[in-house]
Amino acid sequence: MAEKLKLLITAGPTREALDPVRFITNRSSGKMGYSLAAAAVEKGFSVILVSGPVDSSVIPPEGLTEFVPVVSAAEMAEAVKSRFPAMDAAILCAAVADYRPKIMETNKIKKKEGAFFLELERTEDILFSLGQMKTSAQRLIGFAAETENLAENALGKLKRKNLDWIAANQVGLPGQGFQSDRNEITLYGVNGETVQLPLTEKKLLARQMLDVIFQ
């Protein structure tokens, strides 16, 4: 029997703490990444899902090889980079925070008179790191969430991060992208391929994406 394809998927947002009760995050619900994980299990792949904190209504699919819950970008980077060498492919769908507070206060920050300035520092770009680690036998797929210049920005990320495919989606529009059950994607491949996947349910879109990438 042929070996199952080993696929790592990231999903959901990360949370970057300021103090014990506050954090910076984004609107990712995890629906797109969890749909990809479900579609990959359906296809008979061995799937590891690394997920940031999502609502309890977004449930990991049955049949995963491993489910790894994480909170921060640093935790996600550690979980992903330690597992990637044993994978055939990875799809990074998580909306990872690009910045985190430089200092995580141990006590709750008290309000004072006047403005409050928060210093942020860069988090690790996990997708970029995987692009550096990738062997010629591994496939690496990223997402590009853009509010403008979708194609240009996505193609820049495809090249800069050494990807095989990038899934470009327009965000900031009602009824697609973050939180919605539906989405629209253009897949760009490293060999110049462009595949339009029109607006549809994320569950169906995930199957269509995997059919193109792993045909």
155-214 positions binding ligand PMT, by CB under 6 A:
157, 169, 171, 177-179
How buried is 24 (Cβ within 10 angstroms: 0-12 exposed, 13-18 middle, 19+ buried)? middle
118-157 positions binding ligand PMT, by CB under 6 A:
123, 125-127, 142-145, 157
When asked if residue 93 is in the footprint of ligand PMT (CB under 6 A), the reply is yes
Residue 169: which of 203, 189, 193, 146 has the closest Cα?
146
Nearest distance from residue 124's CB to ligand PMT, in Å? Answer: 6
Q: Round to whole Å and give the CA distance between 9 and 94.
A: 8
Judge contact between 37 and 49, C-beta under 8 A.
yes
**How many chain residues bind ligand PMT (CB under 6 A)?**
27
Which helix (H) or strand (E) segment is 206 a member of?
A: helix 202-213
Residues in the chain: 215
**Residue from the set 8, 32, 87, 206 that interacts with ligand PMT by CB under 6 A:** 32
169 is catalytic: no
When asked if residue 82 is in the footprint of ligand PMT (CB under 6 A), the reply is no
Binding residues (CB under 6 A) for ligand PMT: these are: 28-33, 73, 92-96, 98, 123, 125-127, 142-145, 157, 169, 171, 177-179
Annotated catalytic residues are 26
